[in-house]
Amino acid sequence: MTTSITSLLQALHIIPTSSVKQKTSQSITTTTNKSNVSSPVTSLPEICLETVAQHDDYSDCWIVIYDRVYDVTNFLQDHPGGADIIMDYAGRDATLAFHGTGHSRDAIEQMRDYLIGELPSKERIFRTKNTQVLLKGIPE
Ligand code: HEM
């Protein structure tokens, strides 16, 4: 369970993917993470929730997942779960619905194609300084 949460957080670039510390009975070794995860996002434009809310229809649909903003307008018709289910969250935060649906690693990788920005720090829920504290126990 911890492993799958760690993988999800790594794939979403909430925690680093570069290395994974593995505890063995004799020593702690550091190994390279060989999973097929692209390099972390560096800098993204800040987009506030008020702006996201203005993009809430089929011809212009933005959503927020884990404090990152995605323009999914061109993906709606290709979404395997259908356009309507995403439209329920158009212009809003869809993190819990996205996470609750149990998307595959491929789906998480695919999100990158639609990434356009991230929330300003004061509007973030997941990627905050406190999150870093909460994630302290998770291997980097
Ligand atoms: C950029 C955002 C999204 C991407 C790239 C994406 C991608 C995908 C992909 C590739 C699948 C196929 C199964 C899998 O590989 O996991 C899928 C299925 C699904 N997605 Fe999404 N999705 C996105 C957002 C959402 C959101 C916001 C919701 C919910 C509100 C959602 C609900 C679902 C559901 C219910 C399925 C299952 C469809 C089925 O198996 O019948 N998705 N999505």
65-75 pLDDT, tens digit each? 999 999 999 99
Q: Which atom of ligand 1 is nearest to the CA of 106?
A: 15
**Pocket perturbation via mutation, ligand 1, pick of 56, 71, 101 by most ligand atoms within 8 A of CB:** 101
| ipTM, 2 dp | 0.95
Task: For residues 79 and 15, give the distance between their C-alpha atoms in angstroms, rounded to a whole number.
Answer: 26
SS3 87: helix
**Pocket perturbation via mutation, ligand 1, pick of 38, 71, 93, 103 by most ligand atoms within 8 A of CB:** 103
Nearest CA to ligand 1 atom 10: 107
12-19 contact pairs (CB < 8 A, 24+): 12/65, 12/66, 12/68, 12/108, 12/111, 13/40, 13/41, 14/66, 14/126, 14/127, 14/131, 14/135, 15/135, 15/138, 15/140, 16/40, 16/140, 18/140, 19/140
Task: For residues 40 and 45, give the distance between their C-alpha atoms in angstroms, rounded to a whole number.
Answer: 15
What is the CATH code of the structural domain delimited by 49-118? 3.10.120.10
Q: pLDDT by residue (tens digit) across 76-133?
A: 999 999 999 999 999 999 999 999 999 999 999 999 999 999 999 999 998 887 765 5
pTM assigned to the model: 0.75
Domain ranges of the chain: 49-118
